[in-house]
Structure 1
Amino acid sequence: MTALREDGGFEATASSLVPLFRPQLPELVARITQDIQTNVPAYAGPAHGRRHRLITLAVNGAVSHFLDLLEGGGTSGDRVDDLFRKMGYGEALGGHDLSAMRASYRIARHQGWEYLRSFAVAQELSAETLGLLGDALLAYIDHLTEQASIGWRTARETIERDRDRNRRRLVVALLEGRNSDVPTLAAHAGWEIPDRFVVLAVAPRRRRDSLELPDLGPSAIVNAGPDSAAVLTAPDGVDAVMKTLRSASPAVRFAFSWPVARPDLPDAHRWVIRALELGAAGVITDGAVIDCGRHRTQLWLHSEPALRRGMVQELLRPLLAETPNSREILSETLLAWLETRDSAPAIAGRLGVHPQTVRYRWKRINEIFGEALHDPDFIVQITMLLKASVPLWKAGDQSDFERFHAEENA
């Protein structure tokens, strides 16, 4: 191909080259996009996915604007600059640095330079012109890098000013045990980490309602969703927090832990959530406010629901086979004996029945369980099972019996 004249200055030469280069634009955009998704793990994804479309949009916009500038600068770069600022802003909001974007710029610079160099050879351009084109490409990529950095810094400043957002993130970090994130988040949240914590789980009183949480003041940090909230406070601040929550009743119900050390926060969070579940199921009958310290045994017994269900089917099978009325009175009588080891008259007084009724029931209990009642391990196990299960049954949970009959009829 005959060489283009270069005696009209770089601007004129570049402007005359752009129409010849534009047909390669789709191929160059596709190559850069593919290389970015292949070599930058953070931006990997399917060839026709949303991330692929976003990268293609950004690359196409940048390359098209660069060519417009070479051709004479007739189009404004505000739209492209805004796009890259938004990309940097999004990286910051996602908790990421700009390393993935910088890796993408390096790929774009390399691919762009290779295409320019091959084009220059085909057009028999001088080394000087090629060098000027390369300088223009590098300057433009530096400009886009700065736009992304501006967006990233803007987002970081916004995040650091957003105390509530950082407090929510701090709650999540503490409850997930992500200790490395805690100092920075605590500084941005303006919350001093205490030596010990009280954990609260808050939910609407009625399940179909959305949670409307009152302002709990500066002593608490909160991560609230539409139907539940996790609250952390120091022990000396819990009274004020609970007073505010009580003032919101009957709209909300909540459970609170005893003071725990920081390593125990994930466990304490699990306990208060479980306490609310047991309250909703009727096993814990404290009403809108549940003190987990008063229900440690029930929380322990219900910490593994699947294990309880399996052991009920294995160890209490003779009891499950009784009629509904029989299993209710027998389980109540057996549990009373296991808990007290009292005489028939004492158990009768506790249950409000005649001693002879207790003796009759005890005879039936011996018939269905037999020698197992003399096995210490069996006694320990069924004591725990009945303490966990009888409150469920009384609250109306029939799943143990339904499961038994389903297995029997299978």
Structure 2
Amino acid sequence: MTRLAWSEVPRSQVERFAAVALNESADLAETILRQIRHDFPRLRLVDNESGEPKALVGIRRAIEGFVQHLTADAAAPLVPSEVFQEFGRGEGLNGRSLDSLQAIYRLGVRLAWRRFAEIGQQVDIAAPAMYELAESGFKYLDGLVEQSVRGYAEAAARQEGERLRQQRKLIDALLSSRHTDPAQALRERAARIGWELPATIAVGMLIRPAPEAVPPALGQDILLDMESEQPRLIIPAPDTPGRADHIRRATLGWTGAIGPPVPLTAAPASLRWAESAVLLIEDGLLPGGEVQHCTDHTEKLILLPGHELINATASRSLTPLQDLRPAQARRLADTLLAWIETSGGAPEVANRLGVHPQTARYRLRQIRELWGDTLDDPDHRFQMLLVLRSQRLRGELPDCTD
């Protein structure tokens, strides 16, 4: 700011003003702190190594820094940055907002300016020049606030970093298959981040859309571990109304899976289902581009991951098909699955397959010839049902259920 009126004040007057103000800086600081303590009775003051309140030291240094620059040919007063950054850090570490601290600063500047105005009259400095000095004082206040905001942000980042560290520890404890932490230890871990242990949870696993993807904007009560290669999340009370919609909105653009709701102690089981679903997504057997719920894909999650076992079972329960031509074997497999699923005769099978009843009847006779009395064994039919549905899920058989 160009201070035209102040620049015209004779240097002798400026020096007299500065001398009086500096001489009174200690008493003025005491007066300001006393008023602050009166107006803010809950303010917690911390002493330095000498037993002097740090706030008092800060006020005195702020006054002295502002006054000294008037005679030092400096463009702007030097803000005692470390002192006021520490004030900001203190507010942040104690969980308070900066509003009260800024109110305290404004009170201090108002009281200081009241005394400066009196000193200006004593040394005959013209009012316009003092108005400009007041503007400079409030600009100086902005600098003090800026330093406190910096300290506050530093403290907030440190606290958030510590919270995330404790949160990851809690997630690891909940998902540990060994359950080394007893219930009381889990409660204590949860209390450190203000998280109440729920009765039921669901565990999710995400696939990053990009290395530097912005984390999903999930609610505070949903635990999220972004440090893992595949981020994990723990959802408390997953059946709460609106919870699924919130997660869907928050994870737009992400791919992943959420395991079934389970009791808190069964969290590793929910994670295992989520991991299985993610593997199926990566193999293209479940849709990507969104976060899937395992309970929406029960059949696929049960049948598809165990394809080695299914294939071994198929070689035994579908042995009669092995000697047939591939096209014929496929047609009979389609018909066999339709017959097991409908528990009906040729008309029901024909309707399901979209073929003529006579065609269905012919195929059913072939199936009876191939398998004989084995078809009357419920356990064997169930095995064939599992094998054939697994093949259909993998696209090896057409889906006739639509």
When normalised by structure 2's length, the TM-score is 0.50
Per-residue deviation, 1:356: 2.2
| Counterpart Cα distance in 2 of 1:297 and 1:167 | 34
User: Aligned in 2, Cα 1:327/1:194: closer, same or farther, shift over 3 Å?
Assistant: same
Distance in structure 2 (CA, Å) of the matches to 1:268 and 1:321 = 42
- Indicate conservation of the 8 Å contact 2:261/2:270, yes or no: no
Aligned to 1:299: 301
Number of the residue aligned with 2:394: 392
Partner of 2:383, secondary structure, is helix
Partner of 1:174: 174
User: Which of residues 179, 191, 194 in structure 2 aligns to 1:190?
Assistant: 194
Which has the greater radius of gyration? Answer: 2
Q: 1:330 to 1:167 in 2, by over 3 A?
A: farther
Aligned partners of 1:200, 1:328: CA distance in 2, in Å?
38
Equivalent position amino acid for 2:349 in 1: I
1:168 to partner: Cα distance: 1.9
Alignment partner for residue 374 of structure 1, among 376, 382, 390?
376
Q: 1:278 to 1:366 in 2, by over 3 A?
A: farther
CA RMSD of aligned residues (A): 3.3
1:314, CA displacement in angstroms?
2.5
**Distance in 1 of aligned mates of 2:160 and 2:212:** 27
Secondary structure of 2:392 counterpart: helix
Alignment of 1:111-260 (within 5 A): 162-177=162-177, 178=179, 179-180=181-182, 182-204=186-208, 209-210=210-211, 212=213, 213-224=215-226, 227-235=229-237, 239-240=242-243, 242-246=245-249, 248-249=251-252, 251-260=253-262
Residues of 2 paired with 1:248 and 1:391: CA distance? 27
Deviation at 1:196, TM superposition (A): 0.9
The residue that corresponds to 1:356 in the other structure is 358
CA-to-aligned-CA distance 1:249-280 (integer Å, 9 cap, x gap) = 3x322322342111221111111222233344
Q: Distance in 2 between matches of 1:395 and 1:215?
A: 41
Q: 1 CA distance for matches of 2:217 and 2:264? A: 24
Residue segments in structure 1 that go unaligned for 5+ positions in a row: 1-157, 397-410
**Within 5 A, what are the aligned runs for 1:318-337?**
318-337=320-339
- Please state whether the residue corresponding to 1:162 is helix, strand or coil: helix
Structure 2 unaligned segments of length 5 or more: list them: 1-157
- Give the letter for the 1:330 counterpart: L
Distance in 2, matches of 1:225 and 1:386, equals: 41
- Distance (Å, rounded) in 1 between the aligned partners of 2:336 and 2:277: 26
Identity of counterpart residues, as a percentage? 30
- Opposite residue 368 of structure 2, the aligned amino acid is N
In the alignment, the residues of structure 2 paired with residue 277 and residue 299 of structure 1 have an alpha-carbon distance, to the nearest angstrom, of 10
Deviations along 1:296-334, one digit per CA (max 9) or x if unpaired, are 343333464432232223322333554443333322221
Q: Kindly indicate whether the alpha-carbon contact (under 8 Å) linking 2:187 and 2:196 is maintained by their aligned counterparts in 1.
A: no
Distance 1:389 1:173, change over 3 A: farther
* TM superposition shift of 1:242: 5.0
Once the two structures are superposed, what CA deviation does each residue of 1:18-72 show, in whole Å capped at 9, x if it has no partner? Answer: xxxxxxxxxxxxxxxxxxxxxxxxxxxxxxxxxxxxxxxxxxxxxxxxxxxxxxx
**C-alpha deviation, 1:377, in angstroms:** 2.1
- Count of aligned positions: 235
Aligned with residue 271 of structure 1, among 262, 270, 273: 273
- The answer as to whether partners of 2:300 and 2:393 remain within 8 angstroms in 1 is no
Structure ranking higher in helix proportion? 1
Q: Is the 2:226–2:232 contact (alpha carbons within 8 Å) kept by the matching residues of 1?
A: yes
